[in-house]
């Protein structure tokens, strides 16, 4: 005990640090998280390009509030569209759009309501779309228009 009291934290790290240090590859918590974030970002970029090619005018990406996030917001002609992007490399956990459960729908609806209020978009037409991305390498993209109703 006395030995530990005399050594500072810096001293302990220099003395025993090599035994406790892990590289990011060895840490099971870091690697999957980085892969997940990378897939999400690349999926959103794919969806962004796909929506633009299909006539959407994207006005916001990753619109975040403390109570949720909307991946993409844009206009499809005169309709404001809130888009959730879901990516699955394999279908063993179901189709991507199946991951947008009622809880997620309510969360997206709440953020959408705040967005419309903040930007004074009262009395406009709006809907909720999902961009489903399946597979890796050459993924298949699909827009599911009006995928769910406002969960308010």
Confidence of residue 116 (pLDDT cuts 50, 70, 90): very high
Predicted model pTM:
0.73
| pLDDT averaged over every residue in the chain | 79
Q: Which CATH class is domain 35-148?
A: alpha beta
Contacts of 8 (CB under 8 A, 6+ apart): none
Per-residue pLDDT of 52-94, as tens digits, reads: 999 999 999 999 999 999 999 999 999 999 999 999 988 888 8
Query: Comparing C-alpha atoms, which of 45, 22, 20, 25 is closest to residue 35?
Result: 25
In which residue are the tokens 């840490």 written?
27
pLDDT of residue 43: 87
- The CA-atom distances, in angstroms, between 71 and each of 16, 61, 114, 145 are 44, 6, 15, 15
């Amino acid at each position: 005990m006395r030995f530990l009291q005399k050594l500072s934290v810096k001293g302990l790290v220099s003395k025993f640090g090599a035994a406790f240090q892990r590289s990011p590859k060895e840490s099971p918590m870091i690697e999957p998280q980085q892969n997940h974030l990378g897939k999400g970002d690349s999926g959103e970029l794919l969806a962004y390009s796909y929506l633009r090619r299909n006539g959407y005018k994207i006005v916001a990406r990753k619109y975040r509030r403390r109570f949720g996030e909307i991946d993409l917001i844009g206009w499809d002609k005169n309709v404001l569209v809130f888009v959730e992007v879901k990516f699955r490399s394999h279908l063993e956990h179901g189709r991507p759009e199946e991951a947008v459960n009622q809880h997620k729908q309510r969360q997206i609806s709440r953020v959408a309501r705040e967005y419309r209020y903040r930007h004074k978009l009262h009395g406009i037409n709006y809907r909720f779309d999902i961009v489903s991305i399946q597979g890796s390498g050459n993924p298949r993209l699909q827009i599911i228009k009006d995928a769910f109703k406002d969960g308010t």
